[in-house]
Structure 1
Amino acid sequence: MIWHRKSLAGLDFETTGTNPETDRIVTAAVVRYGGGRPDEAYRWVADPGVPIPAGATAVHGYTTEAARAAGRPPGQVVAEVIDAVAALVDEGLPLVVMNAPFDLTLLEAEAERNGLRGLFARSVPRVLDPMVIDRHVDRYRPGSRRLEDLCRHYVVRLDGAHDCEVDALAACGVVWKIANRHRWMTRVPLEELHERQARWAVDQQEALREHFATTPGKEHRARTVRSGWPLIPRMRPGVWPGE
């Protein structure tokens, strides 16, 4: 059976900030989508152990106090998330992650921070990143490529963006719609499709770096573009920045 007809696994986090190497998980969701069966979702709330900035609260709704009251220790949450994702990956399901370098780098950093084996030490996930795929198959479409934009473009339901369960399911829906529209993708083995995305992502990141470098007023942003998919390379081997 081709992967497009099976279930998809999905992963999404809401966090304390936008740096995947130093920020922390606040909420997490792992989902099983499609494949001729009802969708399933597993959710977690973590006490990140650090203050949640107001800007992050404005996105996902959790204050520091709310996360402390409802959240569990981060090590327990991270371990259970990795277990859940690894179980689905080991079934042969592709792992859908919107902007994969952020969420997967965050998960690996959190695992190491809590003395746990990371996902990539446990399993060999074949990742499908709707952002990377969409930019490849429709590279000249103008406008933003956020999840909300992709859902609007591919007509995928998104009720309550920045809820990790909603976002994970929507990202799976976007991947399914793209593959249904571009049927050649369904005939590419997952391992090869994963490798192709790694190449596409590097090209996209280099194009973005060049765009910033040659756009007046945005030159400084070129330094912030880091190549790497589905993980951001570490700045120093064995050490996540900020530790």
Structure 2
Amino acid sequence: MRLNKYPGLCAACGIAVAIAAGRLIGLPGRWQTVCAGCTPTPPPRGDHPGWHVAPLASLDFETTGIDPATDRVLSYALLGDRGTDLCGLIDAGVEIPAASAAVHGLTAEALVGAPKPPEAIAGIVAWVQDLIDREIGLVVYNAAYDLTMLRAEAERWGVEQPDWNRLLVVDPFVIDWGIQRGELGPRRLTDVAAYYGVALDNAHDASADARAARDIADEIGMRHPAVAAGTLADLMIRQRSWFADRADDWNAYARRVGRTLDDPAGWPLAAVAAPAVMA
């Protein structure tokens, strides 16, 4: 939850809230301010079974932009379920927009000498396929972005795709929406990490983001027994439903204000234009 930019009254108790003295909650077009005393907090941790008790892997990318058809992966973090992590840079050989570099700090000069995309993407895909073969859950915050980017890069460079249909994804972004239904305001990785008390000291660093995403998944599992119940396959079904609900909710707002619509079926892979093949 983010600090309020404007003064107002607390939506819960009615007291006056000065600028930056409270938090924003609610949905797009229906934001509300709450005071510090009324700011929602997560439920306590519990000792119950669930998918969260098994080791999970985690993945995150930093890229040149947000369009899988044209943008490229520049750095990656692959945090393994066995304690072995693979992190690295990729020399994509393309110009990096200043706006993107300002977010993650990666420049073309800094990537000189890093592995080229065919080698790096092949290694990432092989790592994902190993998780699939071992039925290990992969945590990806906003999976529809990162996994769609990986699929596009594999297609671009002629790398054989992993068996996407068998991949078990744990997406804290989608699960959080399934729990909160958007009522807690903006829910970027930094917002949800703060809500669950997860450390994220270097946001937009792939390794830091991947670690925070996995820690959030663990916290969600420990604090929400109903969500933790069942297998990862069960969770996949629920996440698809939650993502579709979220898209429908967003689209109702987007139609009113002329924004881009989301595809309710676009998780964990979004339907996007095929990238130009480079291989």
TM-score, normalised relative to structure 2: 0.77
Is 1:110 aligned to residue 156 of structure 2?
Answer: no
Runs of 4+ deviating beyond 6 Å: none
Alpha-carbon distance between aligned partners in 1 of 2:216 and 2:237, rounded to the nearest angstrom: 20
Please identify which structure carries the higher helix content: 1
Post-superposition offset of 1:242? 5.5
Post-superposition offset of 1:21? 2.6
Post-superposition offset of 1:140? 4.7
Q: Which residue of 1 aligns with 2:263?
A: 226
**In the comparison of the two structures, how many residue pairs are matched?**
228
Letter in 1 for 2:90: A
Cα gap change, 1:186/1:65 in structure 2, threshold over 3 Å: closer, same or farther?
Answer: same
Alpha-carbon distance between aligned partners in 2 of 1:40 and 1:161, rounded to the nearest angstrom: 21
Alpha-carbon distance between aligned partners in 2 of 1:16 and 1:154, rounded to the nearest angstrom: 29
Structure 2 residue aligned with 1:9, among 57, 63, 66? 57
Post-superposition offset of 1:199? 1.5
Q: Secondary structure at the match of 1:222?
A: coil
Alpha-carbon distance between aligned partners in 1 of 2:71 and 2:243, rounded to the nearest angstrom: 23
Letter in 1 for 2:98: A
Is 1:92 aligned to residue 130 of structure 2?
Answer: no
Q: Which residue of 1 aligns with 2:222?
A: 180
| Contact 1:151 1:170 survives alignment (8 Å) | yes
Alpha-carbon distance between aligned partners in 1 of 2:126 and 2:57, rounded to the nearest angstrom: 13
Cα gap change, 1:70/1:166 in structure 2, threshold over 3 Å: closer, same or farther?
Answer: farther
Q: Which residue of 1 aligns with 2:12?
A: none
Structure 1 residue aligned with 2:144, among 88, 92, 101? 101
Is 1:155 aligned to residue 197 of structure 2?
Answer: yes
Post-superposition offset of 1:2? 4.5
Alpha-carbon distance between aligned partners in 2 of 1:165 and 1:17, rounded to the nearest angstrom: 18
| Contact 1:99 1:132 survives alignment (8 Å) | yes
Contiguous gaps of at least 5 residues in structure 2: 1-48
Alpha-carbon distance between aligned partners in 2 of 1:226 and 1:63, rounded to the nearest angstrom: 32
Alpha-carbon distance between aligned partners in 1 of 2:249 and 2:220, rounded to the nearest angstrom: 22
Which runs of structure 2 are paired with 1:56-75 in the superposition (5 Å)?
56-67=100-111, 69-75=112-118
Alpha-carbon distance between aligned partners in 1 of 2:203 and 2:193, rounded to the nearest angstrom: 10
Post-superposition offset of 1:5? 1.4
Post-superposition offset of 1:211? 0.8
Alpha-carbon distance between aligned partners in 1 of 2:208 and 2:189, rounded to the nearest angstrom: 11
Alpha-carbon distance between aligned partners in 1 of 2:145 and 2:195, rounded to the nearest angstrom: 23
| Contact 2:58 2:211 survives alignment (8 Å) | yes
Q: Which residue of 2 aligns with 1:171?
A: 213
Structure 2 residue aligned with 1:43, among 87, 97, 116? 87
| Contact 1:3 1:93 survives alignment (8 Å) | no
What is the root-mean-square deviation in Å for CA atoms of aligned residues?
1.8
Letter in 1 for 2:263: R
Q: Which residue of 1 aligns with 2:254?
A: 212
Alpha-carbon distance between aligned partners in 1 of 2:135 and 2:270, rounded to the nearest angstrom: 24
TM-score, normalised relative to structure 1: 0.87
Cα gap change, 1:87/1:53 in structure 2, threshold over 3 Å: closer, same or farther?
Answer: same
| Bigger Rg, which one | 2
| Contact 1:26 1:48 survives alignment (8 Å) | yes
Alpha-carbon distance between aligned partners in 2 of 1:185 and 1:18, rounded to the nearest angstrom: 30
| Contact 1:45 1:70 survives alignment (8 Å) | no
| Contact 2:51 2:221 survives alignment (8 Å) | no
Q: Which residue of 1 aligns with 2:74?
A: 26
Structure 1 residue aligned with 2:122, among 58, 79, 82? 79
Give deviations 1:112-151, integer Å, cap 9, x for gaps.
1111111236x72111111110011112533210000000
Alpha-carbon distance between aligned partners in 2 of 1:49 and 1:198, rounded to the nearest angstrom: 35
